[in-house]
């Protein structure tokens, strides 16, 4: 749909005396696209993300505390008071509801900018969605691992620069440092050796913080006790104290539009697992999780079974249920997963994975064929597909071929 945009809309034409200035307004599903001119405006805010591009020159943007940008494009978070200029500048603006997938990209850019020392809710963009021009382009890591018959100690430190090029897709976040460590001791009591193989109490710590400010992003501390029996079965009990520091709203359920507000959250997750001998022709497993979850609670239950036939065929099916209760809403998700693996020979394999998510109402399938054509060298053919179960419509599909070749120097 298109509407005339005139003087009374706050987006007049460059000639204030003219009442015939016309812009265009398109209203979509969860977003609005508006072309017009900047008119006289006081400090104001919107409930949606706003992305504005200057069509005939740069935009001036003033936020809280007189934070000022002059840029070809600007990105503004919801509920952020701002003023735009100059009067008469022709602009194109898109307003996006926070629960839409595109809003997650906007939120990520705003969060990265804040941790780089910029404004938390206003970002100056120049031609493309980039954040900042300073910071390191490097990435590095160091690790140490020690293990003997009793002790197992492992630590890893990773540093990823603010402008590190992660176009290969293997780096989920830039501008952070991460410390990951595990400390454990293995006990094999001789008096219980007829049925008990090993006890392994261990403590794991994962800490992620922003490089520039040093502010904590997330922390996970896991205190676990693992037990392995002589028949190949085993299990674990433990608690995972977790801290999440959200600097932008977190869309946790897209279909229902459930968003976790900005803030620091500390919560504990308690779990217990058990499995029978996974190398047997038939095995089962199960897991239970209960505890706090952000500003609410979570209960999770899962179980599965697996079969092994003739050394060539492995198949498994699992089902897990997550029951989430948050201040913004509650929902239950069941995830059903089926896996099949078949070995044609020692160098050729096929794998299939099919999943169904009851809350997202989506089927996901992944088929992979792998041939080892040379030592440490492979050929992969992968097919991925995702469908909406309610409409039976295709969401995305991909066929990918990959070849690796080991080269000796």
Sign of CA dihedral 395, 400, 317, 256: negative
We report the CATH number of the domain holding residue 71 as 2.60.120.10
Q: What domain range includes position 121?
A: 7-125
* Closest residue by Cα to residue 318 from 356, 261, 349: 356
User: What is the pLDDT at residue 60?
Assistant: 76
Q: Does pLDDT of 398 surpass 70?
A: yes
User: What is the pLDDT at residue 166?
Assistant: 61
Does residue 209 sit within a domain?
A: no
**pTM of the predicted protein model:** 0.64
- Pair of tokens at residue 395: 């969401």
How do strand 73-76 and strand 296-309 relate by DSSP bridges?
unpaired
Does residue 369 sit within a domain?
A: no
What is the per-residue pLDDT across 193-237, written as a single tens digit (0 to 9) for each? 999 999 999 999 999 998 877 888 899 999 999 999 999 999 999
**364-372 contact pairs (CB < 8 A, 24+):** 371/347, 372/347, 372/348
Does residue 15 sit within a domain?
A: yes
Does residue 106 sit within a domain?
A: yes
Does residue 324 sit within a domain?
A: no
- Cα(333)–Cα(331) distance, integer angstroms: 7
Q: Domains in the chain: how many in total?
A: 1
- Pair of tokens at residue 262: 């900005």
Does residue 66 sit within a domain?
A: yes
Does residue 377 sit within a domain?
A: no
Q: Does pLDDT of 155 surpass 90?
A: yes
Do residues 218 and 243 make contact, with C-beta atoms less than 8 angstroms apart?
yes
Q: How confident is the model at residue 23 (pLDDT cuts 50, 70, 90)?
A: low
Does residue 379 sit within a domain?
A: no
Q: What average pLDDT does the segment 371-395 reach? A: 90
């Amino acid at each position: 749909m298109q509407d005339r945009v005139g003087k009374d809309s706050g987006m007049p034409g460059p000639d204030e005396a003219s009442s015939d200035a016309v812009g265009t307004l398109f209203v979509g599903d969860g977003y609005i696209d508006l072309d017009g001119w900047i008119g006289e405006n006081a400090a104001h805010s919107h409930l949606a993300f706003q992305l504005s591009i200057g069509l005939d020159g740069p935009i001036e943007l003033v936020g809280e505390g007189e934070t000022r940008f002059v840029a070809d494009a600007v990105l503004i978070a919801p509920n952020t008071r701002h003023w735009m200029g100059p009067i008469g500048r022709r602009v194109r603006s898109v307003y996006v509801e926070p629960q839409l997938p595109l809003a997650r990209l906007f939120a990520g850019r705003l969060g990265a900018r804040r941790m780089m020392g910029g404004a938390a809710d206003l970002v100056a963009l120049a031609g493309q969605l980039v954040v900042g021009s300073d910071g390191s382009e490097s990435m590095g890591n160091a690790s140490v691992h020690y293990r003997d018959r009793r002790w197992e100690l492992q630590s890893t430190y990773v540093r990823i620069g603010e402008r590190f090029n992660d176009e290969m897709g293997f780096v989920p976040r830039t501008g952070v440092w991460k410390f990951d460590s595990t400390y454990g001791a293995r006990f094999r009591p001789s008096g219980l050796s007829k049925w008990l193989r090993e006890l392994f109490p261990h403590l794991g710590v994962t800490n992620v913080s922003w490089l520039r400010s040093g502010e904590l992003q997330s922390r996970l501390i896991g205190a676990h006790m693992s037990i392995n029996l002589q028949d190949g079965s085993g299990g674990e009990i433990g608690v995972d104290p977790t801290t999440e520091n959200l600097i932008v709203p977190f869309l946790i359920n897209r279909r229902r539009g459930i968003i976790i507000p900005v803030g620091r959250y500390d919560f504990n997750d308690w779990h217990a697992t058990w499995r029978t001998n996974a190398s047997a022709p038939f095995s089962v497993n199960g897991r239970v999780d209960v505890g706090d979850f952000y500003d609410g609670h979570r209960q999770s239950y899962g179980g599965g079974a697996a079969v092994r036939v003739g050394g060539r065929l492995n198949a498994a099916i699992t089902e897990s249920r997550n029951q989430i209760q948050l201040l913004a809403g509650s929902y239950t998700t069941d995830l059903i997963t089926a896996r099949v693996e078949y070995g044609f020979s020692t160098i050729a394999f096929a794998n299939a994975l099919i999943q169904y998510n009851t809350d997202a109402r989506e089927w996901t399938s992944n088929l992979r064929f792998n041939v080892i054509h040379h030592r440490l060298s492979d050929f992969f053919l992968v097919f991925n597909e995702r469908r909406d179960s309610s409409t039976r419509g295709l969401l995305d599909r991909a066929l990918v071929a990959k070849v690796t070749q080991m080269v000796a120097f």
